[in-house]
Structure 1
């Protein structure tokens, strides 16, 4: 009886069996199913030496006997989702959209906000929380477009830049905030 399983190569140390291959005198330290495709459940095992278990593994092909469609389905990163009829439908046609996740720190609060009865939800924004903050730094509202954002950014850079203020660096922090806000808004999904 095997007492200890090694982490290396699946070797079972202390196995008192001989290799199951006829004529081989080596110790059978590795378990292998009787046939390569017979591994459903506990099954029947045979003990092999290192050389014969390598030979056994080289012959094994999980996809043997499968059609190309079955192979593709087995390799899918999301198996079952396309076939599972019991999967819950997360949205229904005509249903109100869920709350913006960016408005909440805890995902459970966002989920419960959707189903809280009697509490009116805030209108969905096309901007994330960070993007709304960036709009505030530029002094713009959510109904703006990218052209207005670019124009306002240019105005504020000219206003706060030290070269335009006779070398006065007192507005550098504000200039940095304006630049960061522009970097955030120029790639906003709302303007895509």
Structure 2
């Protein structure tokens, strides 16, 4: 590239905004200042979108002492910060609507306790009454059946039975109670994993 290349002619130099803004800018709103107000500064809380016009020196001084929460109590500031997490939009808790109250929770749906008949209207009682549905034995899924088998329980085990069996096996196979026996330690790990799986399925 030569010193007088054609590319130099296309380079755009940013204009001096200070020099251009001086004749057209309003006067600085700082008391006793006659410089051009080339910089905007927010007016304050509850007047969003409104700005003062200051010169460079006075906008720096104004921003140094500006506090959006000036005059607010600590509780109001904390509430504002909490609402800011959702963009100051209203939120609702899960399950507060009438439809959510009647619907089974996610753990029951995932475990199969809440069958399809509980999530649909049954005007002709095709699936039986609620008492009949409650009395109907529940079939354990493969992973649940394996976890129950690990604990030495059958598919009809109640939540209390699962917890009691879990506590018993943990005490029996805990490494502190077996002097570092590898086999017992492996069994202890299997019991923990089985109980965690049953808990996630909503069975205990």
Task: Output the TM-score relative to the length of structure 2.
Answer: 0.42
Higher helix share: 2
